[in-house]
């Protein structure tokens, strides 16, 4: 008798926020939560189903939202608020989104408690670091000397640089010893003090941290600073976007089994 077909993993995705805006012509004064399309398609490309997660109300906890899901992905987007890691903004435009921070930190904590794998992308890697007690550079080029341009608004996700994986990292195991990997770069904040239990897995040529992974209690918590979902999957000049997603989904499937 043939074995039953396994159900695709269902992956919760933290929402991006458009906060209430009385001047917005549609949904005036309403808070909008959204999922960026290429993120949804990236998750689906490996045979998983994305499910965007709302904020909670009434008796519902974030653990309630996560039950029945097999993984959590944290999207990119707005700056992490300096107040979320005990600092004040150096400039008003770097104030970030403390409301979204609190929502995502609760999702991370609930996921770890439930044994649900977590994968953070760009802002997602930064908020993972903050959730584990780490801090951020509010602006890389302002706070550090001799750094690369990590965000160029004009060319956006066509801004590239190389990345190197630590020899004791899972990324090294996945991709091998070749250090000439090219990634996109769309961020101006970056990890400064690494959170408790997190291990640095990748760095840019200017030593900016590009990936972290939790080494604690067997939990799967991993974050990358680049945007694999923005890549052209047929561009062989860039680091293959598939293996890190497949590794995360393998952990999600193992939990669901």
* Token duo for residue 147: 């750094």
Closest CA to 116 of 253, 225, 6: 253
Q: Cα dihedral sign for 98, 67, 120, 85?
A: positive
Instruction: In whole angstroms, give the CA distance from residue 171 to residue 109.
Output: 24
Q: How far is CA 87 from the centre of its chain?
A: 21
Q: What are the CA-CA distances from residue 60 to residues 17, 102, 162, 182 (Å)?
A: 20, 16, 43, 42
* Token duo for residue 23: 């001047």
Which residues participate in catalysis according to the annotation?
Answer: 122, 227, 229
Q: What are the CA-CA distances from residue 125 to residues 20, 92, 212 (Å)?
A: 26, 23, 7
Q: Cα dihedral sign for 147, 232, 104, 48?
A: negative
DSSP letter (8 states) at residue 118:
E
Neighbours of 7 (CB within 10 A): 10
């Amino acid at each position: 008798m043939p074995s039953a077909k396994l159900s695709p993993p269902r992956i919760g995705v933290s929402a991006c926020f458009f906060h209430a805006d009385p001047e917005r012509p549609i949904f005036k004064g309403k808070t909008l939560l959204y999922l960026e399309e290429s993120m949804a398609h990236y998750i689906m490309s490996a045979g998983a189903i994305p499910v965007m997660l709302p904020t909670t109300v009434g008796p519902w906890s974030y653990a309630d939202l996560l039950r029945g899901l097999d993984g959590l992905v944290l999207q990119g987007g707005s700056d992490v608020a300096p107040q979320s890691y005990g600092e004040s903004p150096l400039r008003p435009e770097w104030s970030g989104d403390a409301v979204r921070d609190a929502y995502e930190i609760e999702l991370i904590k609930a996921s770890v408690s439930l044994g649900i794998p977590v994968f953070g992308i760009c802002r997602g890697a930064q908020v993972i670091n903050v959730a584990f007690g780490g801090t951020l550079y509010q602006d890389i080029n302002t706070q550090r000397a001799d750094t690369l341009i990590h965000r160029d608004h004009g060319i956006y996700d066509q801004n590239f640089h190389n990345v190197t994986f630590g020899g004791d990292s899972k990324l090294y195991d996945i991709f091998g010893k070749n250090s000439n990997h090219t990634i996109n770069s769309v961020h101006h904040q970056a990890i400064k003090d690494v959170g408790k239990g997190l291990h640095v897995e990748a760095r840019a040529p200017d030593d900016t941290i590009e990936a972290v992974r939790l080494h604690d209690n067997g939990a799967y918590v991993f974050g990358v600073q680049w945007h694999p979902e923005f890549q052209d999957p047929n561009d062989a000049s860039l680091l293959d976007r598939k293996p890190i997603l497949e590794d995360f989904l393998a952990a999600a499937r193992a939990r669901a089994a």
